[in-house]
């Protein structure tokens, strides 16, 4: 997750809201077809004599004694299984597609209609450090794991619909095994990165009055002139808090699902997996907005997270308050090159004035 939102931070909000609305649409596509199986019918067939009274008991999860040690073995019937299937297959799966597709389409449309935010003044050639090496390391560590986990997660949810038909059986099996193992083993590493990121950046992310005005101006889209912004603008802060809350939800649910050896009940796992899937899909849909704003959407933004430095013009345009606080630390491109060539002693840490 790149950490720039510049002017159009509002856009990720819109994308997120859009995604959210679409998400709650009844499933249009019902890829799995038909209504869920009826446990009652199956039971009556297998255990004739199942009367309505009896079924009520069974449905309430009646338990007995058994010699089986399998988790949940003492429960005769777990009707929640069918509810879980329904939630997963008829809501989360199609909902996720709608959220991701809607977010991507919205961004594309925005890009075509409005286009990227250009620098209003030519570059001065003087650079200001915005993201320290540590910031960038954490950012790209989390970002790459996010992409890998997102990809493998999507495969676990959707690949059977489009990949299985075109892959030979053995390749399909290997692919899915790899997807699951990569997802399960990298998950905890992502959790560590996310924690580090939250701790490292949380102090920049308290909302203040400047942010309110920034929101009122829609991040620069409403009215004239750019709204003021400090080190981080309102949109970036919103993204930070989305990543924090939704991200932690996904991480915690992911860890519960990843370690089934603590005797979690099937019902716990059902809820956990739903929360995990919904949270992850929301994050992914929102991350499209973040990625757009940080790359193609804003001229001069990407170099900040790539090199650590942004151009003075960019800083002034997008984060004027921060710029005024740190402008005396701006250095020439040549000096920057020299510094970099010298060694990685970027030493002074000019980003911290917020």
Site membership for other proteins, residue 173 (CB under 8 A): yes
User: Do residues 309 and 350 touch, judged by C-beta distance below 8 A?
Assistant: no
By beta-carbon proximity to other proteins, the closer residue of 121 and 160 is 160
User: Do residues 219 and 235 touch, judged by C-beta distance below 8 A?
Assistant: yes
If you write DSSP's letter for every residue of 282-340 in order, what string do you get?
HHHHHHHHHHHHHTTTBTTTHHHHHHSEEEHHHHHHH-HHHHHHHGGG-EEHHHHHHHH
How far is Cα 269 from Cα 253, in angstroms, rounded to an integer? 9
Site membership for other proteins, residue 75 (CB under 8 A): yes
Site membership for other proteins, residue 345 (CB under 8 A): no
Site membership for other proteins, residue 325 (CB under 8 A): no
By beta-carbon proximity to other proteins, the closer residue of 11 and 91 is 91
Site membership for other proteins, residue 37 (CB under 8 A): yes
Q: Facing residues of 128 across strands?
A: 310
Q: Which of 187, 175, 28, 180 is nearest to 96 (CA)?
A: 28
Candidate segments 80-88, 103-111, 143-151, 227-235, binder of other proteins by CB under 8 A: 80-88
Site membership for other proteins, residue 64 (CB under 8 A): yes
By beta-carbon proximity to other proteins, the closer residue of 79 and 104 is 79
Site membership for other proteins, residue 60 (CB under 8 A): no
User: Do residues 242 and 286 touch, judged by C-beta distance below 8 A?
Assistant: yes
By beta-carbon proximity to other proteins, the closer residue of 41 and 133 is 41
Q: Facing residues of 309 across strands?
A: 129
Q: Site for other proteins (CB under 8 A): which residue of 26, 203, 209, 261?
A: 261
Candidate segments 69-77, 124-132, 283-291, 321-329, binder of other proteins by CB under 8 A: 69-77
How far is Cα 322 from Cα 351, in angstroms, rounded to an integer? 9
- Tell me how far, at minimum, the Cβ of 25 lies from other proteins, in Å: 21
**Parallel/antiparallel/unpaired status of strands 126-129 and 309-311:** antiparallel
Q: Which two tokens stand for residue 34?
A: 């038909």
Site membership for other proteins, residue 65 (CB under 8 A): yes
By beta-carbon proximity to other proteins, the closer residue of 72 and 115 is 72
By beta-carbon proximity to other proteins, the closer residue of 31 and 223 is 31
By beta-carbon proximity to other proteins, the closer residue of 187 and 289 is 187
User: Do residues 204 and 231 touch, judged by C-beta distance below 8 A?
Assistant: yes
Site membership for other proteins, residue 30 (CB under 8 A): no
- Tell me how far, at minimum, the Cβ of 257 lies from other proteins, in Å: 9
| Residues of span 84-113 touching other proteins by CB under 8 A | 84-85, 88-89
How far is Cα 276 from Cα 253, in angstroms, rounded to an integer? 5
User: Residue count at the site for other proteins (CB under 8 A)?
Assistant: 65
By beta-carbon proximity to other proteins, the closer residue of 138 and 256 is 256
How far is Cα 81 from Cα 240, in angstroms, rounded to an integer? 35
Question: What distances in angstroms separate CA 151 from CA 65, 148, 241, one per listed residue?
Answer: 43, 5, 23
How far is Cα 273 from Cα 271, in angstroms, rounded to an integer? 5
How far is Cα 101 from Cα 36, in angstroms, rounded to an integer? 26
Candidate segments 167-175, 304-312, 321-329, 338-346, binder of other proteins by CB under 8 A: 167-175
**Binding residues for other proteins (CB under 8 A):** 32, 34-39, 41-51, 62-79, 81-82, 84-85, 88-89, 156-157, 159-160, 164, 169-170, 172-173, 176-177, 179-180, 184, 258-262, 266, 269-270, 273
């Amino acid at each position: 997750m790149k950490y720039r939102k510049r002017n159009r931070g509002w856009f990720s909000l819109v994308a997120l809201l859009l995604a959210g609305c679409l998400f709650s649409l009844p499933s249009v596509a019902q890829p799995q077809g038909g209504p869920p199986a009826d446990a009652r019918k199956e039971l009556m067939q297998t255990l004739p004599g199942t009367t309505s009274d009896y079924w009520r008991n069974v449905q309430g999860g009646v338990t007995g004694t058994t010699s089986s040690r399998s988790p949940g073995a003492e429960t005769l019937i777990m009707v929640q299984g069918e509810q879980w299937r329904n939630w997963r297959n008829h809501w989360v799966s199609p909902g996720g597609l709608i959220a991701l597709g809607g977010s991507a389409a919205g961004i594309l449309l925005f890009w075509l209609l409005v286009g990227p935010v250009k620098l209003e003044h030519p570059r001065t050639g003087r650079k200001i450090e915005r993201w320290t090496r540590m910031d960038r390391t954490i950012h790209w560590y989390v970002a790459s794991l996010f992409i890998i986990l997102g990809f493998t997660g999507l495969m676990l949810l959707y690949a059977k619909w489009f990949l299985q038909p075109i892959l030979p059986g053995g390749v399909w099996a290997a692919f899915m095994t790899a997807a699951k193992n990569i997802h399960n083993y990298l998950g905890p590493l992502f959790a560590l990165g996310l924690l580090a990121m939250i701790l490292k950046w949380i102090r920049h992310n308290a909302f203040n009055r400047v942010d309110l005005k920034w929101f009122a101006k829609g991040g620069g889209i409403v009215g004239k002139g750019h709204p003021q912004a400090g080190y981080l603008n309102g949109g970036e802060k919103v993204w930070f808090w989305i990543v924090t809350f939704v991200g932690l939800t996904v991480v915690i649910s992911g860890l519960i699902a990843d370690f089934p050896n603590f005797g979690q009940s099937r019902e716990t796992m059902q809820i956990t997996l739903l929360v995990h899937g919904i949270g992850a899909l929301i994050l992914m849909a929102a991350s499209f907005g973040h990625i757009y704003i940080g790359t193609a959407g804003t001229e001069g933004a990407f170099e900040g997270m790539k090199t650590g430095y942004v151009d003075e013009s960019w800083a002034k345009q997008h984060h004027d308050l921060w710029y005024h606080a740190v402008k005396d630390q701006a250095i020439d491109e040549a000096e920057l090159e020299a510094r970099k060539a010298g060694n990685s002693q970027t030493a002074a840490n000019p980003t911290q004035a917020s």
